[in-house]
Structure 1
Amino acid sequence: MSGIFYSLVKIVVKAGLYGYHRKIKITGLENIPKDVPVMFLPNHQSALIDVLLIATDCNRKPYFLTRSDVFKGKFLKRVFSYFQMLPIYRMRDGRNTLANNDAIFNSCAQILSRGDALLLFPEANHSLKRSVRPLSKGFTRILIRTFEMYPELDVQLIPVGLNYKHAAHFPDEVAIHYGAPISAKQFYDSKDLSKTSLDIKGKVSERLKKLTVHISNEQQYDMILNRLNVKNVDFLNPTSINEKIKSYTHEKAILSDNSISSEQHLNTINWLFTVLNFPIVFSWRTWLKPKVPEDEFMGTFRFAFAIVTYPIYLTFLLLILSLSFSVYIAFIVISALTLVNVGLVKYGFSR
């Protein structure tokens, strides 16, 4: 029964993600091996949305390393454990908590020894900047512990490039590119663990910089990003964008008179979407949106709010229309409203 519930939640979340995003593009699923230990290593931009996008479509059932401060209370601990989430402790959680990671690393090694999958973010933080940040040694410590406990085991590292068009906007577009697997065992040197860690981090970072848009020049970051935005490039295609970035490095920023197009159409679509979903949109804009701590969490908060409130909103409308007219008319109206909303998300300009 528990497996059925997990699958049902996965279906609901996946449907929600595809309804929430205008486009989800996935490539490289053939690179994910079956029945062998795998560690998914994505770049990190949009908080929980990053996790959900991978978990619902990666063709594996991964365990997740999650910041420990969310594991509060017995109920939440049970929920997170059910969904295969493990706490990871950071310096900000208190120096005395870091010792707990030793047991977590052992658990991760055991998970990998069973041929299961782990998902963790090697950057160890999130940011909307279009660049791959320096990788933390946390994931390499897990790999080293795994090889120490299970010397004959190999772990396949799958770098994952997450590329959002505008991660803080709605609706957004995203591309998930799964890279070719990297054999972690080839880098393991029991006599030089520091080199092992550096070599693994270097290889994963190199791959991530090809799978996602990467602006390496900090001094010219704003200029290059402005140039890309002016050209209205397809951020879902990191290969072509990274080639453009190389050519822009020595150029000056160019402004455009056409940075906002079809503004009248945009306003019309936004107005229509707001009218059709007024209680949800009003509650989001006046109540929850102002409480979002930073833009990296905007997509997560908005998606969570929508996936909870939209079914309630439709159920309420269904009851009102059924009592006022008939169940048949109510179902027609609700179906039409759902289809129109999907159409606005997929083909409109609301955000």
Structure 2
Amino acid sequence: MNYEYSKGYQIVRFFERIALRLHYRKIVYSGTENVNENNPVIFASNHRNAVIDPLLLLNKCKKQPVFLARADIFKKPAIARVLKWLHIMPVYRMRDGAENLANNSDSFQLSGELLKKRIPMALYPEGKHNPKMSLLPVQKAISRIVLPIEEEENFELGTEIVPIGLYYTDIFGFLSDAYVTFGKPIKVSDYQKQYEENPNVTANQLRKDLEIEMRKLIVNISNDEFYNEYTYAIDWNAERLTKEKYIGKKDGFLLASQEVVRNLDNLFENDRNSFDEKIRNFRKAKEILNKHGLTTKDKVVTPSSVVPLIAQLLLLIFSFPITVFGFLNGALSILGYKKLLTLFKDNQFIPSVRAISGLFLVPIFTFIQSLIVGLIFNWWYALAYFFIMPATFYFACWWRKWMKQWVRKWKVKRFAKKFPEAWKKLTKLIQL
């Protein structure tokens, strides 16, 4: 398998872009000016969301990058063939068996040859999936790939390592937001002198430098003992900070979330008493929310007024028939999605299965159901149904989200009105 340009793969990418755009409310790309695909490029990203992570990168790449993934998913020959067709190459870890580690030399050598051909490489240097808002220690895989190949070329190949930070406002949520940040490239040629003196030290230094750059791009909660409280603080304060300090910036919510973490880290390091008080307040606030059936995602500081809530409810009621039509005609796609979910035990695959269902199941069932309509009625009806069915199904998905949001707003409104003292106390406790 040479992993070079494939027209079939390009067609799949076209539909992947559509499915991904429909899966998220908003996808924000920043720092794209740091990517020059005319040079040999290695994309190095944190890995939070299974298949979604590479899809977000594919969505912005001009070329067809080759991904390195853990070798255990290649065990079944049929799956291995599909993965290789999708430009995914196996990398072996200690958990895959020490006897298999030698196979990495072939993958790394092939990676070097692809870089020489200006085919981008992409991998997740943490070495495993991490759904939390934190960065695991970066491993040496990139150093082992790029330094030997640059040495062969007298460090004149010009390879650049582009760090990437991925952030999701709701990692499991449908129609949420995703942020993809491309950092400044690390030029491997800068390590030539050090590599000639000590290759092992250089490999470790490159690993450390990459880890530092990646940490700058993500929301990195390194204080694992208080991880939940940090996430509460983001839920309660990031949107406010976005409006106060980052208005007009497309990645404002990401920047605000990073600021929340920095502020708490600063308190933890320099004013532990104040930090402990914040943590106690956050926990008290969470208890109040739990008592009244609310969540940290609810906008408790600014309850909605009655008139907008009634107007929104009327719109939901009037559009309900369209929603029913959409869900009824999308029932087979929903059943297929539910069936696929049973194949995975880990919740990390929920967004991936949802996106894959949108990419394959919805078009397949739309085509089949349109054929049935054509056979029963006529082909003009079938053509109309072919466009109406997915559109109304997608609207129904949005309607479901809007309805959930309306219920949450109504609960917050009722809580603030029925328990004003508890509401006032809550709004003070959640302040950063």
**Number of matched residues?**
349
Paired position in structure 2 for 1:12: 15
AA aligned to 1:282 is L
The answer to whether 1:244 aligns with 2:260 is: yes
Which residues in structure 2 correspond to 1:144-159 (within 5 Å)?
144-152=147-155, 153-159=157-163
What residue ranges of structure 1 are gaps of 5+ in the alignment?
A: none
What residue ranges of structure 2 are gaps of 5+ in the alignment?
A: 243-250, 266-274, 405-432
Q: Is the 8 A contact 1:165 1:172 kept in 2?
A: yes
Q: Is the 8 A contact 1:22 1:347 kept in 2?
A: no
Alpha-carbon shift at residue 75 of structure 1 (Å): 4.7
Q: Identify the match of residue 204 of structure 2 among 198, 205, 214.
A: 198
Tell me, in whole angstroms, the C-alpha distance in 2 between the residues paired with 1:12 and 1:147.
Answer: 36
Tell me, in whole angstroms, the C-alpha distance in 2 between the residues paired with 1:53 and 1:109.
Answer: 24
Q: Is the 8 A contact 2:25 2:177 kept in 1?
A: yes
Q: Which has the higher contact order (CA 8 A, sep 6+)?
A: 1
| CA deviation string 1:316-336 (max 9, x = no partner) | 221232233322223223322
Which residues in structure 2 correspond to 1:151-300 (within 5 Å)?
151-152=154-155, 153-188=157-192, 189-190=194-195, 191-231=197-237, 233=239, 237-249=253-265, 250=275, 251-252=278-279, 253=282, 254-255=285-286, 256=289, 259=295, 260=298, 272=324, 274-285=327-338, 287-300=339-352
Q: Which structure has the larger Rg over C-alpha atoms?
A: 2
Paired position in structure 2 for 1:71: 74
Paired position in structure 1 for 2:140: 137
State, as a whole percentage, how many aligned pairs show the same letter. 24
| CA deviation string 1:99-126 (max 9, x = no partner) | 1111222111222223321100011111
CA distance 1:348–1:34, shift in 2 (3 Å) = same
Q: Identify the match of residue 62 of structure 2 among 59, 62, 78.
A: 59
CA distance 1:193–1:344, shift in 2 (3 Å) = farther
Q: Is the 8 A contact 1:21 1:345 kept in 2?
A: no
SS in 1 for 2:224: coil
Which TM-score applies when normalising by structure 2?
A: 0.72
Tell me, in whole angstroms, the C-alpha distance in 2 between the residues paired with 1:107 and 1:282.
Answer: 41
Alpha-carbon shift at residue 33 of structure 1 (Å): 0.8
Backbone CA RMSD of aligned residues: 3.0
Tell me, in whole angstroms, the C-alpha distance in 1 between the residues paired with 2:362 and 2:342.
Answer: 20
More helix by share: 2
Q: Is the 8 A contact 2:42 2:120 kept in 1?
A: yes
Paired position in structure 1 for 2:104: 101
Q: Is the 8 A contact 1:42 1:161 kept in 2?
A: yes
Tell me, in whole angstroms, the C-alpha distance in 2 between the residues paired with 1:42 and 1:87.
Answer: 17
CA distance 1:143–1:229, shift in 2 (3 Å) = same
Alpha-carbon shift at residue 205 of structure 1 (Å): 1.9
